């Protein structure tokens, strides 16, 4: 379980999304822009900069089949970007979000005919294309959301959407839109699913903000990661709600690798793999352990930046920095491959269950092998 590929960019990466075959990647460089890079061998070359937003871009998602990118921002706007093949220019289409506070997170639905946008306006905007007027409209999911929505994810049936946020709860709600969706088959989450039907509500164990969530590949379970360093997995068919507390720093991102494996990451800088053994969810691995051991063995204690790195560890973790610490090597850097907070994990857009990618505030973009 180690690094397959590692790339470094000259800026911190707050979000990333690949196209269908991972030959291109869209990055958020902690600004009002989206940068698109194309792969050239083992290097990445910048090809486009999307500049329509005027405040910090908070989330991006690249639809693998339609090749459209959705971006949202603190400027309360979302855009759908479409590549004009004749001119090789990405053209934006404004989305009528109708929100009064920042847009926080955006995700395409599995069929790519809708997308969801979470916001600080205590709602989730479900956006769909109005062919008659040639623009993107939205319907709001409001009740019972009580605070800022930090994350949204879609169920495989293209109708249910999960959201979590600063009210410390994760919810599963119907986003069925008449004229856009076909009636889905019954699931463990319910049968009658008119728009805004609440299908499940779950609370973080110690009241932490819900930073990330996702449905299992079969749609039977929902997992969410909270600021209290916990993972909760809810399965409505069995009625089980299992929470696992971690001694590590808070998690920021979560993805399912397969129906019994979850990968989480965050402020501790190492992706962690949890697996279900039939009775409980248990930590089975930290990705990059082999690479960390190599880093520790080859580190030089004479690194000129060691004093700065040690101070950085002390400042970020509120504890004395010691070169003998199990997580710090002789030059003051972390043993983990990432050297700062991991901001986002993404699954392989081609559906490979054993590979995930991570981006971080250290400017690294890493492809990991989860199993084997």
pLDDT at 299: 46
Structure-token pair, residue 133: 């007027």
Residue 249 has what pLDDT?
A: 94
- pLDDT confidence of residue 298: 46
DSSP at 292: H
Which residues of the chain carry a pLDDT beneath 50?
Answer: 296-307, 310, 317, 320-325
* pLDDT for residue 352: 80
What pLDDT score does 327 carry?
Answer: 64
- The pLDDT assigned to 350 comes to 80
Residue 126 in 3-state DSSP?
strand
Which pLDDT value is given to residue 326? 56
Q: What pLDDT was estimated at residue 301?
A: 43
144 prior amide bond cis, ω within 30: yes
List beta partners, residue 369: 355
Domain borders along the chain are: 3-288+343-369, 289-335
φ, ψ dihedrals at 300, nearest 5°: -105, 125
Rounded to 10 degrees, the C-alpha dihedral 232/236/237/238 comes to: 50
Q: Which two tokens stand for residue 348?
A: 């392989």
| C-alpha closest to that of 339 among 347, 348, 329 | 329
Note the pTM of the prediction, 2 decimals. 0.89
Q: Using an 8 Å Cβ cutoff, are 342 and 359 in contact?
A: yes
CATH 2.60.40.680 applies to domain 3-288+343-369 = no
Q: In what order do the strands lie in the sheet with 135-141?
A: 103-108, 114-119, 124-130, 135-141
Measured between alpha carbons, how far is 110 from 372 in angstroms, rounded to an integer?
28
Helical H segments across 223-282, by residue range: none
Distance between CA atoms of residues 52 and 71, nearest Å: 10
């Amino acid at each position: 379980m180690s690094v397959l590929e590692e790339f470094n960019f000259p800026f911190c990466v707050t979000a990333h999304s690949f196209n269908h075959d991972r030959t291109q990647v869209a990055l958020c460089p902690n600004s009002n822009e989206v940068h698109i890079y194309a792969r050239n061998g083992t290097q990445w070359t910048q090809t486009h900069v999307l500049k329509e937003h005027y405040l910090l871009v908070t989330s991006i998602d690249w639809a693998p089949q339609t090749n459209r990118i959705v971006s949202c921002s603190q400027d309360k706007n979302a855009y759908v970007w479409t590549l004009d093949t004749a001119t090789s220019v990405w053209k934006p289409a404004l989305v009528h979000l109708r929100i009064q506070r920042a847009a926080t997170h955006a995700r395409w639905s599995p069929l790519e005919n809708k997308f969801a946008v979470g916001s600080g306006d205590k709602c989730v905007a479900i956006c769909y294309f109005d062919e008659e007027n040639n623009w993107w409209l939205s319907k709001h999911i409001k009740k019972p959301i009580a605070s800022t929505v930090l994350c949204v994810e879609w169920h495989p049936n293209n109708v249910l959407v999960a959201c979590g946020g600063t009210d410390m709860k994760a919810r599963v709600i119907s986003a069925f839109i008449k004229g856009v969706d076909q009636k889905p088959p019954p699931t463990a989450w319910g049968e009658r699913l008119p728009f805004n039907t609440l299908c499940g509500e779950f609370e973080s164990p110690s009241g932490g903000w819900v930073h990330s969530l996702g449905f299992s590949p079969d749609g039977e379970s929902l997992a969410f990661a909270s600021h209290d360093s916990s993972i909760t997995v809810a399965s409505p068919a069995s009625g089980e709600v299992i929470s696992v507390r971690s001694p590590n720093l808070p998690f920021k991102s979560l993805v399912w690798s397969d129906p019994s494996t979850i990968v989480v990451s965050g402020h501790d800088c190492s992706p962690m793999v949890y697996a279900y053994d039939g009775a409980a969810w248990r930590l089975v691995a930290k990705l990059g352990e082999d690479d960390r051991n190599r880093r520790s063995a080859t580190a030089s204690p004479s690194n000129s930046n060691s004093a700065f790195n040690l101070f950085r560890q002390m400042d970020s973790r509120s504890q004395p920095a010691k070169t003998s610490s199990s997580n710090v090597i002789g030059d003051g850097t972390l043993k983990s491959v990432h050297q700062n907070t991991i901001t986002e994990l993404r699954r392989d857009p081609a559906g490979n269950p054993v590979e995930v990618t991570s981006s971080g505030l250290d400017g690294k973009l890493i492809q990991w092998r989860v199993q084997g």
